[in-house]
Structure 1
Protein backbone atom coordinates (compact mmCIF):
# COMPACT_ATOMS: atom_id res chain seq x y z
CA UNK A 1 0.00 0.00 0.00
CA UNK A 2 1.53 3.33 -0.95
CA UNK A 3 1.62 6.39 1.28
CA UNK A 4 -0.81 8.37 -0.90
CA UNK A 5 -3.44 5.65 -0.66
CA UNK A 6 -2.99 5.52 3.11
CA UNK A 7 -3.26 9.29 3.50
CA UNK A 8 -6.41 9.44 1.40
CA UNK A 9 -8.09 6.88 3.63
CA UNK A 10 -7.21 8.36 7.02
CA UNK A 11 -10.16 9.75 8.94
CA UNK A 12 -9.81 12.50 11.49
CA UNK A 13 -9.33 11.33 15.06
CA UNK A 14 -8.60 13.05 18.34
CA UNK A 15 -5.55 10.85 18.91
CA UNK A 16 -2.73 13.33 19.33
CA UNK A 17 -0.28 11.89 16.82
CA UNK A 18 0.93 13.70 13.73
CA UNK A 19 -0.80 12.63 10.49
CA UNK A 20 2.49 11.32 9.12
CA UNK A 21 2.96 9.17 12.23
CA UNK A 22 -0.57 7.82 11.95
CA UNK A 23 0.04 6.98 8.29
CA UNK A 24 3.26 5.15 9.17
CA UNK A 25 1.56 3.20 11.96
CA UNK A 26 -1.37 2.28 9.70
CA UNK A 27 1.03 0.91 7.07
CA UNK A 28 2.92 -1.18 9.63
CA UNK A 29 -0.25 -2.37 11.34
CA UNK A 30 -1.97 -3.28 8.07
CA UNK A 31 1.02 -5.34 6.96
CA UNK A 32 0.55 -7.33 10.14
CA UNK A 33 -3.19 -7.66 9.52
CA UNK A 34 -2.28 -9.15 6.13
CA UNK A 35 0.34 -11.50 7.57
CA UNK A 36 -1.85 -12.59 10.48
CA UNK A 37 -4.76 -13.25 8.11
CA UNK A 38 -2.55 -15.34 5.84
CA UNK A 39 -1.16 -17.24 8.83
CA UNK A 40 -4.73 -17.90 10.01
CA UNK A 41 -5.69 -19.39 6.65
CA UNK A 42 -2.52 -21.49 6.59
CA UNK A 43 -3.22 -22.71 10.13
CA UNK A 44 -6.68 -23.80 9.03
CA UNK A 45 -5.19 -25.56 5.99
CA UNK A 46 -2.89 -27.42 8.38
CA UNK A 47 -5.84 -28.16 10.68
CA UNK A 48 -7.98 -29.58 7.87
CA UNK A 49 -5.32 -31.56 6.04
CA UNK A 50 -2.92 -32.97 8.63
CA UNK A 51 -2.60 -36.78 8.66
CA UNK A 52 -0.57 -39.23 10.69
CA UNK A 53 -0.10 -40.75 14.11
CA UNK A 54 -0.51 -37.38 15.85
CA UNK A 55 -3.56 -36.32 13.84
CA UNK A 56 -6.01 -35.57 16.62
CA UNK A 57 -3.58 -33.65 18.84
CA UNK A 58 -2.28 -31.59 15.90
CA UNK A 59 -5.79 -31.06 14.53
CA UNK A 60 -6.92 -29.63 17.88
CA UNK A 61 -3.71 -27.61 18.40
CA UNK A 62 -3.91 -25.95 14.97
CA UNK A 63 -7.52 -24.98 15.58
CA UNK A 64 -6.65 -23.47 18.96
CA UNK A 65 -3.75 -21.51 17.47
CA UNK A 66 -5.96 -20.27 14.62
CA UNK A 67 -8.32 -18.92 17.29
CA UNK A 68 -5.47 -16.93 18.80
CA UNK A 69 -4.76 -15.44 15.37
CA UNK A 70 -8.38 -14.32 15.04
CA UNK A 71 -8.08 -12.37 18.29
CA UNK A 72 -4.68 -10.90 17.43
CA UNK A 73 -5.81 -9.84 13.96
CA UNK A 74 -8.85 -8.12 15.43
CA UNK A 75 -6.70 -6.26 17.96
CA UNK A 76 -4.27 -5.05 15.29
CA UNK A 77 -7.04 -4.10 12.85
CA UNK A 78 -8.89 -2.14 15.52
CA UNK A 79 -5.74 -0.09 16.19
CA UNK A 80 -5.67 0.76 12.47
CA UNK A 81 -9.20 2.12 12.63
CA UNK A 82 -8.56 3.92 15.93
CA UNK A 83 -5.77 5.81 14.13
CA UNK A 84 -8.20 6.76 11.35
CA UNK A 85 -7.10 4.15 8.83
CA UNK A 86 -8.95 1.48 6.92
CA UNK A 87 -8.09 -1.96 8.26
CA UNK A 88 -7.01 -4.82 6.04
CA UNK A 89 -7.04 -5.48 2.34
CA UNK A 90 -9.38 -7.53 0.14
CA UNK A 91 -8.65 -11.23 0.25
CA UNK A 92 -7.53 -11.07 -3.39
CA UNK A 93 -4.66 -8.78 -2.35
CA UNK A 94 -3.37 -10.85 0.56
CA UNK A 95 -1.32 -13.25 -1.58
CA UNK A 96 0.52 -10.37 -3.24
CA UNK A 97 1.17 -8.50 0.01
CA UNK A 98 1.91 -11.20 2.59
CA UNK A 99 5.35 -11.79 4.08
CA UNK A 100 4.50 -15.45 4.69
CA UNK A 101 5.57 -18.21 2.30
CA UNK A 102 2.83 -20.04 0.42
CA UNK A 103 1.43 -23.11 2.15
CA UNK A 104 2.61 -26.46 0.70
CA UNK A 105 -0.72 -28.12 -0.12
CA UNK A 106 1.03 -31.39 -0.90
CA UNK A 107 2.28 -31.81 2.69
CA UNK A 108 -0.02 -33.83 4.94
CA UNK A 109 2.31 -35.84 7.20
CA UNK A 110 1.92 -34.60 10.77
CA UNK A 111 5.61 -33.85 11.47
CA UNK A 112 6.09 -32.11 8.10
CA UNK A 113 2.95 -30.03 8.61
CA UNK A 114 3.91 -28.86 12.09
CA UNK A 115 7.41 -27.90 10.89
CA UNK A 116 5.97 -25.95 7.94
CA UNK A 117 3.55 -24.17 10.25
CA UNK A 118 6.33 -23.35 12.75
CA UNK A 119 8.43 -21.83 9.94
CA UNK A 120 5.60 -19.54 8.93
CA UNK A 121 4.68 -18.75 12.54
CA UNK A 122 8.30 -17.67 13.15
CA UNK A 123 8.17 -15.19 10.25
CA UNK A 124 5.13 -13.45 11.71
CA UNK A 125 6.37 -13.63 15.33
CA UNK A 126 9.75 -12.16 14.40
CA UNK A 127 8.09 -9.44 12.34
CA UNK A 128 5.88 -8.49 15.29
CA UNK A 129 8.93 -8.33 17.55
CA UNK A 130 10.65 -6.02 15.05
CA UNK A 131 7.51 -3.87 14.93
CA UNK A 132 7.83 -3.32 18.69
CA UNK A 133 11.16 -1.61 18.01
CA UNK A 134 10.10 0.11 14.79
CA UNK A 135 7.09 1.81 16.40
CA UNK A 136 8.46 2.53 19.90
CA UNK A 137 9.66 6.09 19.29
CA UNK A 138 6.76 7.28 17.16
CA UNK A 139 3.84 5.62 18.93
CA UNK A 140 4.37 3.81 22.26
CA UNK A 141 0.77 2.56 22.25
CA UNK A 142 1.19 0.77 18.93
CA UNK A 143 4.54 -0.56 20.16
CA UNK A 144 2.84 -1.90 23.28
CA UNK A 145 0.19 -3.58 21.12
CA UNK A 146 2.95 -5.31 19.15
CA UNK A 147 4.51 -6.47 22.43
CA UNK A 148 1.21 -8.22 23.24
CA UNK A 149 1.05 -9.72 19.74
CA UNK A 150 4.68 -10.84 19.86
CA UNK A 151 4.26 -12.44 23.27
CA UNK A 152 1.29 -14.56 22.10
CA UNK A 153 2.95 -15.53 18.81
CA UNK A 154 6.15 -16.54 20.64
CA UNK A 155 4.18 -18.70 23.05
CA UNK A 156 2.31 -20.36 20.19
CA UNK A 157 5.57 -20.88 18.28
CA UNK A 158 6.97 -22.59 21.36
CA UNK A 159 3.93 -24.92 21.39
CA UNK A 160 4.65 -25.82 17.76
CA UNK A 161 8.42 -26.23 18.14
CA UNK A 162 8.05 -28.38 21.26
CA UNK A 163 6.84 -31.16 18.99
CA UNK A 164 10.15 -31.61 17.20
CA UNK A 165 13.89 -31.31 17.73
CA UNK A 166 15.46 -28.16 16.30
Structure 2
Protein backbone atom coordinates (compact mmCIF):
# COMPACT_ATOMS: atom_id res chain seq x y z
CA UNK A 1 0.00 0.00 0.00
CA UNK A 2 1.40 3.47 -0.84
CA UNK A 3 2.43 5.94 1.81
CA UNK A 4 -0.29 7.00 4.22
CA UNK A 5 -0.64 10.40 5.78
CA UNK A 6 -1.87 9.07 9.12
CA UNK A 7 -0.32 7.17 11.98
CA UNK A 8 -1.99 4.71 14.29
CA UNK A 9 -3.66 2.51 11.67
CA UNK A 10 -1.88 -0.60 10.39
CA UNK A 11 -1.71 -1.53 6.69
CA UNK A 12 -4.46 -4.15 6.99
CA UNK A 13 -6.85 -1.68 8.64
CA UNK A 14 -6.06 1.02 6.10
CA UNK A 15 -6.57 -1.39 3.21
CA UNK A 16 -9.99 -2.49 4.51
CA UNK A 17 -11.06 1.11 5.08
CA UNK A 18 -9.92 2.19 1.60
CA UNK A 19 -12.01 -0.63 0.10
CA UNK A 20 -15.00 0.47 2.16
CA UNK A 21 -14.52 4.10 1.14
CA UNK A 22 -14.30 3.21 -2.53
CA UNK A 23 -17.43 1.05 -2.36
CA UNK A 24 -19.45 3.94 -0.95
CA UNK A 25 -17.74 6.43 -3.28
CA UNK A 26 -19.25 4.60 -6.25
CA UNK A 27 -22.73 4.86 -4.74
CA UNK A 28 -22.42 8.55 -3.86
CA UNK A 29 -21.15 9.41 -7.34
CA UNK A 30 -24.03 7.39 -8.85
CA UNK A 31 -26.49 9.26 -6.67
CA UNK A 32 -25.04 12.61 -7.77
CA UNK A 33 -25.37 11.59 -11.41
CA UNK A 34 -28.96 10.43 -10.88
CA UNK A 35 -29.74 13.80 -9.28
CA UNK A 36 -28.36 15.57 -12.35
CA UNK A 37 -30.29 13.23 -14.69
CA UNK A 38 -33.50 14.26 -12.94
CA UNK A 39 -32.42 17.93 -12.84
CA UNK A 40 -31.97 18.01 -16.62
CA UNK A 41 -35.10 16.11 -17.59
CA UNK A 42 -37.92 16.68 -15.13
CA UNK A 43 -41.07 18.61 -16.01
CA UNK A 44 -44.25 19.43 -14.17
CA UNK A 45 -45.76 21.51 -11.38
CA UNK A 46 -43.09 22.83 -9.03
CA UNK A 47 -40.43 22.47 -11.73
CA UNK A 48 -38.21 25.43 -10.90
CA UNK A 49 -38.02 24.72 -7.18
CA UNK A 50 -37.13 21.05 -7.67
CA UNK A 51 -34.81 21.85 -10.59
CA UNK A 52 -32.83 24.28 -8.40
CA UNK A 53 -32.95 21.94 -5.40
CA UNK A 54 -31.44 19.13 -7.45
CA UNK A 55 -28.53 21.35 -8.47
CA UNK A 56 -27.82 21.98 -4.78
CA UNK A 57 -28.27 18.30 -3.92
CA UNK A 58 -25.81 17.26 -6.65
CA UNK A 59 -23.30 19.82 -5.36
CA UNK A 60 -23.59 18.44 -1.82
CA UNK A 61 -23.16 14.88 -3.11
CA UNK A 62 -20.03 15.94 -5.00
CA UNK A 63 -18.70 17.46 -1.76
CA UNK A 64 -19.42 14.17 0.00
CA UNK A 65 -17.68 12.21 -2.74
CA UNK A 66 -14.65 14.50 -2.35
CA UNK A 67 -14.54 13.78 1.39
CA UNK A 68 -14.73 10.05 0.77
CA UNK A 69 -12.15 10.05 -2.05
CA UNK A 70 -9.70 12.26 -0.21
CA UNK A 71 -9.91 10.04 2.89
CA UNK A 72 -8.99 7.01 0.74
CA UNK A 73 -5.89 8.84 -0.50
CA UNK A 74 -5.00 10.11 2.99
CA UNK A 75 -5.00 6.48 4.13
CA UNK A 76 -2.51 5.58 1.41
CA UNK A 77 -4.96 4.19 -1.13
CA UNK A 78 -6.36 5.42 -4.39
CA UNK A 79 -9.79 6.93 -4.99
CA UNK A 80 -11.61 4.86 -7.61
CA UNK A 81 -14.00 7.42 -9.08
CA UNK A 82 -13.82 7.02 -12.84
CA UNK A 83 -17.03 6.53 -14.79
CA UNK A 84 -15.95 2.99 -15.68
CA UNK A 85 -15.28 1.98 -12.07
CA UNK A 86 -18.42 3.64 -10.77
CA UNK A 87 -20.56 1.92 -13.43
CA UNK A 88 -19.01 -1.43 -12.51
CA UNK A 89 -19.06 -1.08 -8.72
CA UNK A 90 -22.14 0.92 -7.77
CA UNK A 91 -24.79 -1.00 -5.88
CA UNK A 92 -27.41 1.61 -6.71
CA UNK A 93 -30.26 0.49 -8.93
CA UNK A 94 -30.00 2.01 -12.43
CA UNK A 95 -31.75 5.36 -12.74
CA UNK A 96 -34.67 5.58 -15.20
CA UNK A 97 -33.91 7.25 -18.51
CA UNK A 98 -36.44 8.88 -20.84
CA UNK A 99 -38.54 10.08 -17.94
CA UNK A 100 -39.83 13.62 -17.50
CA UNK A 101 -42.59 13.44 -14.88
CA UNK A 102 -41.42 15.34 -11.81
CA UNK A 103 -43.13 12.97 -9.37
CA UNK A 104 -41.62 9.89 -11.00
CA UNK A 105 -38.18 11.50 -10.67
CA UNK A 106 -38.79 12.44 -7.05
CA UNK A 107 -39.90 8.92 -6.16
CA UNK A 108 -36.96 7.36 -8.03
CA UNK A 109 -34.54 9.66 -6.24
CA UNK A 110 -36.17 9.17 -2.83
CA UNK A 111 -35.85 5.40 -3.21
CA UNK A 112 -32.17 5.69 -4.14
CA UNK A 113 -31.38 8.21 -1.40
CA UNK A 114 -32.88 5.84 1.18
CA UNK A 115 -30.89 2.91 -0.22
CA UNK A 116 -27.56 4.75 -0.36
CA UNK A 117 -28.22 6.29 3.06
CA UNK A 118 -28.72 2.82 4.51
CA UNK A 119 -25.44 1.63 2.99
CA UNK A 120 -23.61 4.67 4.35
CA UNK A 121 -24.99 3.89 7.82
CA UNK A 122 -23.69 0.33 7.46
CA UNK A 123 -20.31 1.81 6.51
CA UNK A 124 -20.39 3.86 9.73
CA UNK A 125 -20.66 0.63 11.72
CA UNK A 126 -18.08 -1.17 9.60
CA UNK A 127 -15.51 1.62 9.90
CA UNK A 128 -16.01 1.58 13.66
CA UNK A 129 -15.58 -2.20 13.81
CA UNK A 130 -12.40 -1.96 11.70
CA UNK A 131 -11.08 0.65 14.12
CA UNK A 132 -11.03 3.88 12.11
CA UNK A 133 -12.98 6.44 14.14
CA UNK A 134 -12.19 9.26 11.71
CA UNK A 135 -13.72 7.41 8.75
CA UNK A 136 -16.64 6.49 10.97
CA UNK A 137 -17.17 10.22 11.63
CA UNK A 138 -16.80 11.03 7.93
CA UNK A 139 -19.54 8.53 7.02
CA UNK A 140 -21.73 9.98 9.79
CA UNK A 141 -21.38 13.43 8.21
CA UNK A 142 -22.23 12.05 4.76
CA UNK A 143 -25.19 10.13 6.19
CA UNK A 144 -26.66 13.24 7.78
CA UNK A 145 -26.50 15.12 4.48
CA UNK A 146 -28.01 12.29 2.47
CA UNK A 147 -30.85 11.95 4.99
CA UNK A 148 -31.48 15.69 4.90
CA UNK A 149 -31.56 15.75 1.11
CA UNK A 150 -33.92 12.74 1.06
CA UNK A 151 -36.20 14.76 3.33
CA UNK A 152 -35.96 17.81 1.03
CA UNK A 153 -36.94 15.64 -1.93
CA UNK A 154 -39.83 14.00 -0.09
CA UNK A 155 -41.12 17.42 0.97
CA UNK A 156 -41.84 18.07 -2.72
CA UNK A 157 -43.97 14.93 -3.05
CA UNK A 158 -47.70 14.75 -2.37
CA UNK A 159 -48.77 13.34 0.98
CA UNK A 160 -49.97 9.72 0.76
CA UNK A 161 -53.75 9.39 0.77
CA UNK A 162 -55.21 8.57 4.18
CA UNK A 163 -57.39 5.50 4.31
TM normalised by structure 1 equals 0.90
Q: 2:2 aligns with which of 6, 11, 16?
A: 11
Q: 1:116 aligns with which of 81, 86, 108?
A: 108
Which residue pairs with 1:103 in the alignment? 95
1:40-59 CA-partner distances (Å, limit 9, x unpaired): 11110000000111211111
Q: 2:62 aligns with which of 54, 67, 70?
A: 70
Q: Secondary structure at the match of 1:143?
A: helix
The alignment status of 1:145 with 2:128, answered yes or no, reads no
Count of residues paired in the alignment: 157
Which residue pairs with 2:31 in the alignment? 39
Note if contact 1:15-1:83 (Cα within 8 Å) is conserved in structure 2.
Answer: no
Q: CA deviation at 1:90?
A: 2.5
Note if contact 2:22-2:72 (Cα within 8 Å) is conserved in structure 1.
Answer: yes
Q: CA deviation at 1:33?
A: 1.1
Provide structure 1 residue ranges, at least 5 long, that are not aligned to the other structure. 1-9
Within 1, Cα distance between the matches of 2:122 and 2:18?
16
Runs of 4+ in 1 over 6 A off after TM superposition: none
Alignment of 1:73-92 (within 5 A): 73-92=65-84
Q: CA deviation at 1:111?
A: 0.7
Tell me how large the CA RMSD over aligned residues is: 1.2
Q: Secondary structure at the match of 1:15?
A: coil
Within 2, Cα distance between the matches of 1:139 and 1:24?
10
